[in-house]
Structure 1
Amino acid sequence: MTVAECLKHHRVQFLLVLLILAAVYWSVVPEMVQQWYEDENYSHGFVVPLIAGYFAYERRKDLASVLAEPWWPGLLLVVAGLMQLVVGWLGTEFFTMRSSLVVTLCGMTLFLLGKRLFRLMLLPLAYLLFMVPLPYIIYDMVAFPLKLFVTRVSIATLKLMGVVVMREGNIIMLPFTTLEVADACSGIRSLISLLALAVAYAFFLEMGQLRRGLLILAAIPIAISANALRVIGTGVLAQYWGARAAEGFFHEFAGLAVFVVAIALMIGLGSLLSRGKGGAA
C-alpha cells in the first residue's frame, strides 16, 4: 500500500493523531509564535514552516507513491519526544519543549509510514528546527565573542581609514561620540536568519552536496562581514555627523541594507557554485 492509499484508507485515524498532537502542543506552539512576533532575532520563524512545506510539496509525487511500511521502533522516538516535552515543561526550558515537536514528528513519520517516507521527509522535518528560538544562554555565548570580533575588525579598519578611534570592550570611542556594538550589530541576528535562508537556497539550486555545504557554511562569514561593514560605516559617519548617525532612521536602515547586501552576496556565491555541472560535487 502506497502512502497516498494509506492516508486515504486511514484518514480518520491520522486525523485523530493530528488532533492529539495539536492538543499536546497547544500551549507550546502559540508561545513560540508570539516570540517570533516580539523578538526580531527570530522573525524568520514565520517563513520556516512555509519553506519546509514547500520542500515537502516538491517531493509530493515521490511521497505519494512510496510504500507505507510502518516501522515500530519509531514509537521509541515518539516516546523520547514526549519525554523531552515533559522534561522541558518541568524545568521551564522552552527550547527543549519546542524542539521536542520536531522529534515527535520524526518519530510519528517513522512509526506510522516507515523509513522510506522518512528519508524523503528528513529535510522538511529537520528544517523546522530553524523555527525554534535558541536558549538565551547559547545565544549570549555566541553573540558576545561576535561583538568583540566585529569591534576589533571595525576599529582596525577605521584606523586604516584615518579615523581617530579607541576601543574598550565592545565600545567604540570617537572624538565626538561613543558607539556600542550591541547584539544587533554583532551579526548574530543576520547569522540566524541567513543560515535558514542559505539552507533553503542551497537546496533550491541544482548542485552537489559538497557545494551545498559550502554555500551554507559561507553564510557565517558573510553575515559577520556584512555587520562589520555596518559598524564601520556607522563609525565613519559618526566621525562627521556625531551620534545622529547611529540612531533613529539611519540605524534601522543600515541594518536592513546590510542584510540585503548579505543576501546579495549569498545569491552571487550560489550562482557561481551552481555553474557547470550542477550535480557535480
Structure 2
Amino acid sequence: MDLALLAGTWISAVAQSRRQHRKRHPARLVTPSGMNASRSESSKLVAPEKLVPMSSLGSTGWWLVRFVPLLLVIIYAFWPTLVWAESTWRSEPDYSHGYLVPLLAGLLLANRSETFPGVRRRPSYWGVSLIILAILMRFASRLLYMDFLDGYAILPLIAGIVWVMLGPAAMRWSLPAIGFLFFMIPLPYQAETLLSWKLQGVATGLSTAILRVLGQPAVSEAHVIWIADQRLMVEQACSGLRIFIGVAALACFWAASIQRSWWDRLVLLLSVVPLAIFVNAMRIVAVGLLYQWVGSEGKRALIHDWTGYCMIPAAFGLLWLLKCYWQAVYRPVEQATARDFVHGLS
C-alpha cells in the first residue's frame, strides 16, 4: 500500500514538472530560413489561404469587365473550330444535341452555386500550365490535321483561365461543367466509325434474339437481319450512336447535379451503354415487325423515321426511371451522434 502511494505521488510530481517545463519552454520549429518559430507561428505558416466570395473583390460589373474580353478572345481564337462544330451539329443527327451543351453546362454551374468555395485574392499562376497545354494541343491539331483536337483544347484553356483568376478551389468546383463541354465536340472520325461498327453488331445480334423470342424466323448475317424472306439492313445511321451520345450526356449531367455518393453516380453512368443498346434494339425489332404488315416504301420510310424520333425520348424516360428507382431504394443514411441522441431525448 505504501509502495503504491509513493509511486502515485512520484508520477504526479513528474507530470507536474513536465507541464511547468512546457510552459516555460514552448516547442520551437526551425524554418528553412534558419529562424525559430513557435508552434502557433508554424501553424500560421502552413495554414491554407482563406478564400473570399467574389463580391468582396468587386461588383458584378467589375467581373464582367474582366471575363467578357476573355470570352471574346476565346471565341475569336477558336472561331474556325466553333464553325466546324456548329456545322456538324446542323448536318449530323448524331450531334444535334450540341446546341444544348453550353446551356446545360451553365445550368450545372447554377445548380452548384451554393457549394461555391470562394476565390483567391491573388492569381494562381499554376493555371498557366493548363493554358500552355491548350496551346500545344492547338499546334498539334494543325500539324497533324486533327480538327477534333483543336476543339478539345477549349476545355483545358477554360480550366486554366478559371484556375489563374479564381484559384484552384474554384477550378475544381467548375470541373463538372467544364468537362461537360466535351459533348459539344464531335468525335474523331476513326473513333466514330469504330464505335458505330461495334454498336451495329451488338444491335443486330440483340434484335435477332428478341425477334426469335417473339416467334419470328429471324437470322442475322453481318449487319443484315433476315425475317423469313424479308431483308432488314441495320445501317450505320441505325447503329444507335446518336442515342448513345445523347444518353451519355444526360447521364453525366444528372450525375454531376445530384447530391449522391460516387457509387450512385457510377451506377448511373454505367447504365448508359446497356440502356442505349436495348432501346436501339427495340427500335429495330419494332421496324422489323411493322415492315411485315406494310409493303409501301413511303410508309416504311415513315415508320423508320418516326421510330427514330421516339427512340431518344424513350431512352431518356428509361434513364429517368432508373435514376428515380435507385434514389428510392438506396437512400443516403443519416449519421447521428450521441449528442443528437441526447437532444432528441430531451
> Which residue of structure 2 aligns with residue 171 of structure 1?
224
Partner of 2:206: 153
What is aligned with 1:3? 54
Contact persistence 2:203–2:281 (CA under 8 A): yes
Deviation at 1:119, TM superposition (A): 1.4
- 1:258 corresponds to: 311
Matched residue, 1:226:
279
Q: 1:1-281 residue pairs with structure 2 within 5 A?
A: 2-6=53-57, 8=59, 9=62, 12-63=65-116, 65-242=118-295, 244=297, 247-275=300-328, 278-279=331-332
Shift of 1:69: 4.3
Could you give the per-residue CA deviations for residues 45-99 of structure 1, whole angstroms, max 9, x where no partner exists?
Answer: 1111111001112233554844444221210110110121122123321110001
Structure 2 distance, partners of 1:205, 1:110, is 24
Contact 2:118 2:170 in 1 (8 A): no
- 1:167 match: secondary structure: strand
Deviation readout 1:244-270 (Å, 9 max, x if unpaired) = 498321111111222222111111111
Measure the CA separation in 1 of the matches of 2:197 and 2:176.
31
Between 1:154-163 and 1:103-112, the stretch displaced more is: 154-163
Instruction: Give 1:170 deviation, angstroms.
Output: 0.1
1-structure distance, mates of 2:284, 2:319: 20
Q: How far apart are residue 280 of structure 1 and its match?
A: 5.4
Q: State the AA in 2 paired with 1:258.
A: M
Structure showing greater radius of gyration is 2
Aligned equivalents of 2:214 and 2:253: distance in 1? Answer: 38
The Cα offsets for residues 221-240 of structure 1, whole Å up to 9 and x where unpaired, read as 11100111111121122233
Q: Which runs of 5+ in 1 are unaligned?
A: none
* TM-score normalized by the length of structure 2: 0.74
SS in 2 for 1:129: helix
Higher helix share: 1
Report the CA distance shift for 1:62/1:162 in structure 2 as closer, same or farther (over 3 A).
closer
Cα distance in 1 for partners of 2:268, 2:89 equals 26
Point out the more displaced range, 176-185 or 263-272. Answer: 176-185
What displacement does 1:182 show?
Answer: 1.5
Q: Would the alpha carbon gap of residues 162 and 11 (structure 1) be closer, same or farther in structure 2, given more than 3 Å must change? A: closer
Q: Secondary structure at the match of 1:275?
A: helix
Which residue identity does 2:177 align to in structure 1? P
Question: Which of structures 1 and 2 has the larger relative contact order (alpha carbons within 8 angstroms, sep 6+)?
Answer: 1
**CA distance 1:14–1:189, shift in 2 (3 Å):** closer
Contact 2:119 2:167 in 1 (8 A): no
**Amino-acid identity (%):** 26
| Letter paired with 1:49 | P
1:172 partner SS: strand
* Alpha-carbon separation, structure 2, partners of 1:72 and 1:43: 37
Task: Tell whether the 8 Å contact from 1:99 to 1:129 is kept in structure 2 after alignment.
Answer: yes
SS in 2 for 1:207: coil
Q: Confirm or deny: 8 A CA contact 2:117 2:169 kept in the other structure.
A: no
Contact 2:81-2:150 at 8 Å conserved across structures: yes
Q: CA deviation at 1:4?
A: 3.5
Is 1:177–1:243's contact at 8 Å kept on the other side of the alignment?
Answer: no
Q: Counterpart of 2:35?
A: none
Equivalent-residue separation in structure 2 for 1:75 and 1:7 (angstroms): 23
* 5+ long unaligned stretches in structure 2: 1-51, 335-346
Aligned-partner Cα distance in 1 for 2:252–2:58: 30
TM-score (norm 1): 0.90
CA RMSD of aligned residues (A): 2.4
CA spacing shift, 1:11–1:199, aligned 2, 3 Å: closer
